[in-house]
Amino acid sequence: MIQKITRSILAAYYRPVKKFVKDPLGTQQRTLDYLLEHGRNTLYGKKNNFHSIRNSSDFSTRVPVISYEELRPWLDKIIIHKQRDVLWDTPVKWFAMSSGTTGEKSKYIPVTRESLYNCNYRAGYHMLGIYARHHPDTAFILGKTLVLGGSQQINRIGGDIYTGDISAILMKNLPAAAKRRRTPESIALLPDWEEKLQKLADYAVKADIRALVGVPSWMLVLLKKIVEDTGCAIPELWPHLEVFFHGGVGFLPFQEQYEKLIPSGKMRYWETYNASEGFFGVQFSPASKDMLLLFDNEVYYEFIPFGEWDKSNPVAVPLSGVETGKQYALVISTSGGLWRYRIGDTIQFTSIDPYLFRITGRTQQFINAFGEELIVDNADKAIDEACRRTGAKVTEYTAAPVYFGEQGNGAHEWLIEFEIPPAGDTDEFTRILDENLKLLNSDYEAKRSYNLSLGMPVVKVMEKDTFYNWLKYRGKAGGQNKVPKLSNDRKHVDSILDFIVSNTQ
């Protein structure tokens, strides 16, 4: 009886998805109208004359595309000066802390009641509805969900304003019924990563875990600890485990490790795109990791084509103007009070009926030191193929350019930590990596031709737990912190190499 009721509820969650899939452009226009209505009487709306905006064309020409640095003075009006109606016409009591990919300073992303409930939670229902549509036999909701998220810091920025990772804010505000099905809040929101890891492991081994939620890299750390602590395989501990809802980083580099750790034919992996700024996409079918762009979540989307990313006043196209196969930087306007905000992620549409996409990287995560225009999607796929052909498994990697001076060509230096090293030495792995980067990226192939401007990749094998210890040293262990895959400068690579040297002296 309970199972039938829960399945009917999950099925109902899919109905709104069907509705906006049939009318994506109309849904986006209604979203823009709603956002402008709430923004007109704010300080930001008055400055940008929202009252005169009649359509999407007016919006794109009269309101600037902004970065976080340009947003920050407006946030200070809320945080420091306690002003109301700055970016949105309801109070902002939460700020999601986002450090991106191990940045030195945290960003504070405003979270309103509207964005919390009508973007994040509503998109969560869509995720459940889409998943249940393809798996009507699902029973994970009858057990516990193991959530590995971030932590909260109360009154970090003064007054009655609270901060924390978006996962912590979501958990803190969940309805009581939903909290009972998930990791206890007293454990999930612990600020100390090592303490949280141990308590999560102790809790999980005694629970009927049926679903996992979190970032693949950090969930892997937790699952390995649980196996090490108990000496039991995951399917033995949790025979009803059926799905991992994951996001934050690409799953491809971790897929083999999960399949080895959870050798179960019934285990499923479901991609999500849930950022500090909002919940934007959910995997649409088991056949592909392509995600459906969500349109009824109070987010209005625009897309900056490749070639415009570095411009101070880039031209962005609306949803109606996107094409498949092209790279776009995402621009969002939300009920959290973000207006034409550059989120920093890059996507590529694989379909426009429905609107399906893949995350391809970050506007700040690429290598173009020699005109090669290498993006994270290229790197992940090339690493995966090199692993497949050499029997290797990669835990983490990062890459950056290296300059050999006037007498020599440049190259890409790859710092790679292996769970299982390549058979033999790393030369074959390096050769296959290079070969596949050429196949995936014509600009890389051109720069590698005859070694004219770009030499063979330089692969350096890292000791076990190098990346984990580096993040921990920087106070970035756990939560949504991520190792940057690609950098156009050597900031992160040199930091890691310096860290290694300092810990071996």
Per-residue pLDDT of 56-93, as tens digits, reads 999 999 999 999 999 999 999 998 889 999 999 999 98
Between CA 441 and CA 439 the distance in angstroms is 6
Which two structure tokens, joined as six digits, stand for 397?
């990697």
pLDDT over threshold 90, residue 156: no
Per-residue pLDDT of 84-105, as tens digits, reads 999 999 999 899 887 654 444 5
Start-end ranges of CATH 3.40.50 in the chain? 115-288
Start-end ranges of CATH 3.30.300 in the chain? 366-502
Mean pLDDT of 146-164: 73
Between CA 202 and CA 152 the distance in angstroms is 21
3-state helix, strand, coil in the chain (%, to 5): 40, 25, 35
Q: What is the pLDDT of residue 101?
A: 46
Which residues, in sequence order, are bridge partners of residue 304?
329
Which residues, in sequence order, are bridge partners of residue 327?
348
Radius of gyration from C-alpha coordinates of the chain:
23
Per-residue pLDDT of 242-257, as tens digits, reads 999 999 878 887 888 8
pLDDT over threshold 70, residue 407: no
Between CA 330 and CA 155 the distance in angstroms is 31
Between CA 392 and CA 327 the distance in angstroms is 30
Q: What is the pLDDT of residue 466?
A: 94
- The matching CATH number, chosen from 3.30.230, 3.40.50, 3.30.300, 3.30.70, for 366-502 is 3.30.300
pTM of structure: 0.83
DSSP string, 96-142: EEE-TTT-SS-EEEEEEHHHIIIIIIHHHHHHHHHHHHH-TT--GGG
Task: Print the SS3 string covering 27-62.
Answer: HHHHHHHHHHHHHCCCHHHHHCCHHHCCCHHHHHHH
DSSP string, 275-287: ETTEEEEEEEETT
Per-residue pLDDT of 378-389, as tens digits, reads 999 999 999 999
Pairing of strands 393-402, 411-420: antiparallel
Taking phi first (over 0 means left), then psi (-120 to 50 degrees means alpha), and beta for anything else, what does residue 417 get? beta
CATH class of 115-288: alpha beta
Residue 470: which H helix or E strand, with range?
helix 466-473
